[in-house]
Amino acid sequence: MRTDGKRRNMTSLDIDMGNTRTKWRLDRSVGALPSPQLPDLNVAPSRVRVATVLRNRDVLARTIADRYGVRPEFATTAHELAGVQCGYANPDRLGVDRWLAVVAAWRCCAGPAIVISVGTAATADFVDANGRHEGGHIAPGLRLLRVALDRETADVRAKGWIRPCTLPGTDTEAAVASGTFLMLLAFAEAAVKGFAARHGYGAEVFLTGGDADLLAERLSVPVRCEPHLVLDGLEIALP
């Protein structure tokens, strides 16, 4: 009982460190920074839980220990967690961020779920009614699509960031913005329709990632925008 009491009184800093952004949460405070930066805190955490797809884990562990005086706990992908069975033959090959988001979504709805994350990459992961993770899809996100056009084509230079829309663009920048957004929208729509075609029933759709709000405005199916799914999954994996 004393151990449980100590656990409840712990102040946990939770970190979701991706390729581009680091999201963090400490009690009710949340924030985001460019990766691999860490937040400056007014309160010293007693725990640090980390989900990261970056490979320099040893360096990150030392940096966290030096900054906060706490050795971090790293989440990993497992064969099974909280009723979800991993769809990868080798769970280590599934990014821990995707895994934690899927587990958190399943915990939220306790039923079939589709998790679409739109950030640096666009990913879609599927969990059926029995909690079986089917695997998923990975594609470039909006910015990567635009960077590819900038790099690989002549006279296509999408300067700055134009809010994507589905209307035809009347200049090159707007045409790139609308074209790449339509690709992302089609990716998400196809993922949802594909799940229904395979199973004969629908699933609750969760959106997360930096461009989730943009996508939610245009999808033809109801969605739940959950910006902190990975952090929610981190709490499940490392209670």
Is 232 a known active-site residue? no
CB-based burial label for 195 (10 Å; 0-12, 13-18, 19+): buried
Token pair for 41: 């805190």
Token pair for 157: 């230079």
Spot the catalytic one: 40, 66, 92, 97.
97
Q: Where are the alpha helices (DSSP H) in the chain?
A: 2-9, 57-68, 96-109, 142-152, 172-199, 212-216, 229-237
Active site residues: 97
